[in-house]
Structure 1
Amino acid sequence: MRARPEIGPVPQEIVRRLSPSGVLRAGINLSNFLLVSSRNPDGSPAGVSPDLARALADTLGLELRYVTYPSPGPLADAAAHDEWDVALVGAEPQRAETIAFTPAYAEIEATYLVPKGSGLHAIEDVDAPGVRIAVTDRTAYGLWLERNIRSASLVGTASFDDALSALVEGRADALAGLRSRLVSDQDAHPNTRILEGRFMAVQQAIGVPRAKAEILPYLEQYVAAARGSGFIADLIRHHGVEGLSVAGS
């Protein structure tokens, strides 16, 4: 794997502003298996996002502590409560009200799973009157659907498994999700099929609380270096995750 990306000297006042304690608290969403794909022997998260946070802490000369959340909603809520210094999470306009985001370092396609005999054959077929879309509340793709769906209705659920049950039990006509997750669910439910294409791509980025937005230019440099040097691509290969790609590639 390539060495961690470098961005040159970072002013110490910026480092202190980001992490007054000298320990970088990195907010990590545990629900995305493409980004947190395993656990270390000590129980800490392992994967593309935790490794990127580790490399950032090393670049800044800081110790690292992971602050984990079961899903992205609580992580985003914590931005106003000084629970983390940086967060690795999908960038969405609703979250941007409290979080300042870098450009994305990686992206993940989102599409639909439908019953095999469904009359829905293309992405554009889904947003139609009478169509019910099952979606996990407060996910990046769910927030996108809330903003962009015009004619279909959303069946919001507390978890992805609940959304899948809504489709299987006939309470929804389509299931929204990350393509990689839908592939595994299609294998478990052979009477379903995945629509070609995508309705959006989740933009995985580094964020800071809005109160620390002045630090963002340095994190933007870091993300650009991580992408441009091949470091993100190396992390994806190292962890063997499929369905995650370097943003802008």
Structure 2
Amino acid sequence: MDAARRTFCAAGGLLLAGCASSRPDARAAARAELGATGKLRAAINFGNPILASKDAAGEPRGVSVDLAREAGRRLDLPVELVLFNSAGNVVEAVKARQVDLAFVAIDPVRAADMEYTAPYVIIEGAYLVRNGSPLQRNEDVDRPGTRVAVGRGSAYDLFLTRELKSAALVRAPTSPEVTNLFLAQNLEVAAGVKQQLEADAKRVGGVRLLPGRFMVIEQAMGVPKGRVASQAWLSGFIEEMKASGFVAESLRKHGIEGAGVAPADGRNRR
């Protein structure tokens, strides 16, 4: 590597990741970690419809599926899609090293057990209420007597656990079950992925979303804690996938609206 390239790679975390991921030794080190079982075991979470869903034949589809398969192709590893219905279960699988790669929202609690790339997609968290609810703004939710349904272990659960001071959380087993729990227990608010709640509102009727968002969720690739070679290679990979238009095209192909490609980001998130 010449002096100019060394200077370029030293400019920041993003450039370091990109330069490292292009070297054969960096790829080999990542391949050894990610493919220790002879295959790349990628966790796919159906609890977030922005990331993954099932097609008419019941097969996994979505941006996380596309990214997992592309990473496997570049590493020359067969990909095993390990399917989950909640982010909480995905995180537990990462902690137990039952999967090699996951697609999760960045959160400081999870960082204790996981190495992150920078985000590849940004989505919004929203609140759902009944049409007759007195709540009109996101700021109205955090008050005594308000009960908020949320998916156990989801990014929204972790965020609201820290942020809400007066309202109480009621946890559904998975994020797709939040609206049904909200209705069944006559709760005041449901919290989750904006697109999921919009679909639920059309399905059940008599409910509305509060304007705007209460949080922005940064979706990243994650690997078990300590797998720094994998994190470094995937950091360069995900930046290339954003810059090349791969992520944007995947979102378009799968008909995902309301989610945006994350901007280039050099910070090393762990």
Return the TM-score normalized by structure 2: 0.83
Tell me, which stretches of 5 or more residues in structure 1 are unaligned? none
Q: 1:213 deviation in Å?
A: 2.7
Q: 1:111 deviation in Å?
A: 0.7
Distance in structure 2 (CA, Å) of the matches to 1:161 and 1:58: 31
Q: Which amino acid aligns with 2:53?
A: S
Query: Once the two structures are superposed, what CA deviation does each residue of 1:121-168 show, in whole Å capped at 9, x if it has no partner?
Result: 111111122211111211111111111111211122223465323433
How many residue pairs match? The answer is 244
Partner of 2:163: 148
Q: Which amino acid aligns with 1:38?
A: K
Q: How does 1:56-135 map to 2 (within 5 A)?
A: 56-135=71-150
Distance in structure 1 (CA, Å) of the matches to 2:179 and 2:156: 15
Partner of 1:20: 36
Q: Does 1:224 align with 2:239?
A: yes
Q: Which amino acid aligns with 1:87?
A: A
Q: Which amino acid aligns with 1:115?
A: R
Contact 1:105–1:247 (8 Å) recurs in 2: yes
Partner of 1:211: 226
Query: Once the two structures are superposed, what CA deviation does each residue of 1:208-234 show, in whole Å capped at 9, x if it has no partner?
Result: 100313431221111111111111001
Partner of 2:22: 8
Judged with a 3 Å threshold, the aligned counterparts in structure 2 of structure 1 residues 81 and 170 are, in CA distance, closer, same or farther, namely closer
Tell me, which stretches of 5 or more residues in structure 2 are unaligned? 1-17, 265-270
Q: Which of 45, 53, 72 is residue 37 of structure 1 equivalent to?
A: 53
Distance in structure 2 (CA, Å) of the matches to 1:169 and 1:20: 45
SS of structure 2 residue aligned to 1:211: coil
Query: Once the two structures are superposed, what CA deviation does each residue of 1:82-140 show, in whole Å capped at 9, x if it has no partner?
Result: 21111112222222111111111112211101111211111111112221111121111
Distance in structure 2 (CA, Å) of the matches to 1:74 and 1:161: 14
Return the TM-score normalized by structure 1: 0.89
Query: Once the two structures are superposed, what CA deviation does each residue of 1:153-205 show, in whole Å capped at 9, x if it has no partner?
Result: 11222234653234334631111111111111211333211111111122211
More displaced 10-residue stretch of structure 1: 153-162 or 95-104: 153-162
Judged with a 3 Å threshold, the aligned counterparts in structure 2 of structure 1 residues 239 and 141 are, in CA distance, closer, same or farther, namely same
Distance in structure 1 (CA, Å) of the matches to 2:156 and 2:182: 17
Distance in structure 2 (CA, Å) of the matches to 1:64 and 1:159: 25
Q: Which amino acid aligns with 1:72?
A: A
Partner of 1:173: 188
More displaced 10-residue stretch of structure 1: 9-18 or 178-187: 9-18
Sequence identity (%): 35
